[in-house]
């Protein structure tokens, strides 16, 4: 690191040896010297693998050897992005991020050419946020490409990007994208300040940044929405939110978000609005089921069985007569088995994953009941809960809910329905007080914003959504004009 200070020397040989002292034990560093026809000599250096070889060969080396004019201070290459520099630190960083550097004899400066072309995945369908009607392009691991994907949706000069760098070693470039005439500048300041405070070696994945930036790290709920869909990122930008693109990570962060945003998907807007509303309500219902159903079952069975009608009590008792465990133990056992199966299914390659599902299905669904370890009804409860928790479109939120189920079950086991209500109170208190970058997380329900309810639990017709949600405190609240189709009313 000590050698990275200082400036570029006029003599070529001096520069080459300086380069070699900076990058010792770096066999992938290529230093190519060239003597052009005019007699002036030059050197191109780059890291093999981080650059696009086509670009080096065709745009740098070829023009060099065939250069006709050789003006003083001009490097004869056909690369778009060229930067002059005299600082070794910049050269070092540039080389490491895939640029190539040209030194010329007799010039005390270097040229950084953007020839970067590292190994890169093709743009594919988003994996965990599949959609039926939405676009089939997901983010990839290159920030420039991700930014371009978003820009394709919003070709507007007000779409601004604030660039930051995080990580002493990783030097991850972080781009905050927003609409300047819509997004709240105070939130931007807050966001830049929080990202600026992060002092780590490197950010490997977006999730790490989220954990450093979020408001309350002890909350089970995700406070920043992570998405791998450019269309969903663009639609949030249009609503006045901020999108944080992290280089080398295939997902971006959206902030500030609300609790209900995790229950929405891009498909909601391309379906008939009544059906989209139905599906959204279904998701909220599934959220309730996933969170509370096992604990309601436990509390009714242990404390408050007088609530259940007598026929149901009898049939439950019948199915439980062989089961030696307390309902709580039974439920925890089943839930944990299910979680293990889910986790195993993720890590295993698809063909084996199916086997896990099959084995789990047969053993748990049938054999465990026949063996008298669990009751039929518990199997139903657990599987309904599991299905409900997978309906939630956002993975992080689904995981949070699956996790919260366990403390709820414990409360139900200890205190019955009162414990459950107490747990629900804690959740409501927590969500009410939670903020995402200082904006209330519970909006539009708490604080109540009637105008924002149009796009929360229901999805009203698009022509109704003439104002942006107030949660992100947008400067321009008007989103669209009167688009109501005349239809057959005219």
Partner 1 sequence: MKKKPVFTFLQFSLLVHSMQVGTGILSLPRQLAEIAGTDGWISILLAWGLNVCFGIIMVLVMQQYPNDTLPDLFMRLFGKVIGRVFVLLLVVHFVFFSWSVLVNAMLYIQAWFLPLMPMTMIMMLFVVPAYMMARHHIVAIARYCEFVFFLSLWMGFVFIIPLREGQFVHMLPLIKEGWLPIFKAVNSTTFSFIGFEIIFLVYPFLNRKELAIPGVLLGNTFTLLLYLASTIVCFVYFSPDEITQYNQPFLSLLKVVEFRFLERFDIIFLALYLFVVSTAWVPYIYSAAYCSSHLLGSSNHSMHVLLFSVASLVIVTIIQPSWNQSELWKTWAGYSGLMVAYTLPVLLLLYVKLIKLVPRKEVHP
Which is closer to partner 1, CB of 239 or CB of 436? Answer: 436
Which is closer to partner 1, CB of 386 or CB of 424? Answer: 424
CB of residue 440 to partner 1, shortest distance in Å:
7
Q: Is residue 422 within the footprint of partner 1 (CB under 8 A)?
A: yes
Q: Is residue 304 within the footprint of partner 1 (CB under 8 A)?
A: yes
Q: Is residue 438 within the footprint of partner 1 (CB under 8 A)?
A: yes
Residue of 158, 188, 187, 156 lying closest to 175 (CA atoms): 188
Q: Is residue 359 within the footprint of partner 1 (CB under 8 A)?
A: no
Q: Is residue 240 within the footprint of partner 1 (CB under 8 A)?
A: no
Determine the Cα angle at 387 with ends 384 and 392, to 5°: 130
* Helix spans in 198-263 (H): 206-213, 230-238
Q: Is residue 317 within the footprint of partner 1 (CB under 8 A)?
A: no
Q: Order the strands of the 100-104 sheet from edge to edge.
A: 29-35, 41-47, 100-104, 110-113, 82-85
410 φ/ψ angles, rounded to the nearest 5 degrees: -65, -45
Contact of 173 with 163, CB cutoff 8 Å: yes
CA atoms within 13 A on the CB side of 130: 4
Which is closer to partner 1, CB of 185 or CB of 365? Answer: 185
Residue of 183, 256, 257 lying closest to 475 (CA atoms): 183
* Helix spans in 158-252 (H): 185-197, 206-213, 230-238
CB of residue 448 to partner 1, shortest distance in Å:
5
One residue of 446, 451, 466, 470 binding partner 1 per CB under 8 A: 446
Return the residues of window 459-478 that contact partner 1 according to CB under 8 A.
none
Which is closer to partner 1, CB of 352 or CB of 448? Answer: 448
One residue of 448, 476, 478, 483 binding partner 1 per CB under 8 A: 448
Return the residues of window 171-190 that contact partner 1 according to CB under 8 A.
186, 190
Q: Is residue 483 within the footprint of partner 1 (CB under 8 A)?
A: no
Q: How far apart are CA 8 and CA 222, in angstroms?
A: 47
DSSP assignment string, 63-102: HHHH-----TT------S-EEEE-BHHHHHHHHHTT-EEE
Q: Which pair of tokens denotes residue 428? A: 């409501």
The C-alpha torsion from 7 through 12 and 18 to 24, rounded to 10°, is 140
Interface segment toward partner 1; rule CB under 8 A; list 150-158, 299-307, 328-336, 351-359: 299-307
Binding mask 387-416 for partner 1 (x = CB under 8 A): ---------------------------xxx
Which is closer to partner 1, CB of 475 or CB of 484? Answer: 475
CB of residue 187 to partner 1, shortest distance in Å:
8
CB of residue 481 to partner 1, shortest distance in Å:
28
Q: Which residues bind partner 1 (CB under 8 A)?
A: 186, 190, 303-304, 306-310, 312, 414-422, 424-426, 428-430, 432-433, 438, 440, 442, 445-448
């Amino acid at each position: 690191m000590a050698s990275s200070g200082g400036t570029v020397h006029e003599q070529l040989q001096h520069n080459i040896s300086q380069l070699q002292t900076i990058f010792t034990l770096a066999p992938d560093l290529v230093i190519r010297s060239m003597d052009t026809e005019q007699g002036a000599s030059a050197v191109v250096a780059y890291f093999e693998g981080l650059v696009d070889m086509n670009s080096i060969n065709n745009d740098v080396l070829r023009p060099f050897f065939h250069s006709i004019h050789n003006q003083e201070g001009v490097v004869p290459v056909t690369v778009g992005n060229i930067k002059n520099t005299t600082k070794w630190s910049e050269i070092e960083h540039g080389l490491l991020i895939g640029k190539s550097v040209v030194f010329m004899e007799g010039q005390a400066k270097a040229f950084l050419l953007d020839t970067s072309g590292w190994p890169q995945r093709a743009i594919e369908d988003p994996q965990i946020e599949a959609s039926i009607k939405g676009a089939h392009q997901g983010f990839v691991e290159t920030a420039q490409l991700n930014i371009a994907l978003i820009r394709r949706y919003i070709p507007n000069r007000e779409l601004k990007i604030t660039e930051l760098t995080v990580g002493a070693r990783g030097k991850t470039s972080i781009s905050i994208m927003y609409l300047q005439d819509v997004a709240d500048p105070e939130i931007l300041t807050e966001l830049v300040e929080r990202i600026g405070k992060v002092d780590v070696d490197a950010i490997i994945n977006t999730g790490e940044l989220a954990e450093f930036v979020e408001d309350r790290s002890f909350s089970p709920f995700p406070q920043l929405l992570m998405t791998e869909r450019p269309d969903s990122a663009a639609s949030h930008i249009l609503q006045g939110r901020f999108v944080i693109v992290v280089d080398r990570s295939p997902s971006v962060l959206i902030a500030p978000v609300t609790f209900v945003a995790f229950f929405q998907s891009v498909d909601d807007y391309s379906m008939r609005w009544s059906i989209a509303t139905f599906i959204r309500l279904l998701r909220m219902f599934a959220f309730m089921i996933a969170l509370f159903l096992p604990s309601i079952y436990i509390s009714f069975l242990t404390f408050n069985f007088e609530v259940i009608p007598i026929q149901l009590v009898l049939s439950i008792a019948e199915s439980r007569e062989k089961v030696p465990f307390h309902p709580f133990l039974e439920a925890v056992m089943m839930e944990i088995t299910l979680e293990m199966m889910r986790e195993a299914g993720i890590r295993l390659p698809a063909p084996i994953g199916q086997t896990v599902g099959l084995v789990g299905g047969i053993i748990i669904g049938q054999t465990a009941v026949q063996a008298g370890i669990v009751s039929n009804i518990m199997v139903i409860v657990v599987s309904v809960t599991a299905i409900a928790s997978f309906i939630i479109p956002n993975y992080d939120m689904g995981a949070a809910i699956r996790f919260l189920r366990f403390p709820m079950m414990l409360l139900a086991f200890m205190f019955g329905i009162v414990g459950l209500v107490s747990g629900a109170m804690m959740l409501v208190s927590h969500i009410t007080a939670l903020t995402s970058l200082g904006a209330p997380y519970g909006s539009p329900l708490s604080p109540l914003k009637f105008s924002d309810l149009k796009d929360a639990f229901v999805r009203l017709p698009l022509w109704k959504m003439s104002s942006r949600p107030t949660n992100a405190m947008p400067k321009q609240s008007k989103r669209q004009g009167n688009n109501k189709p005349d239809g057959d009313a005219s």
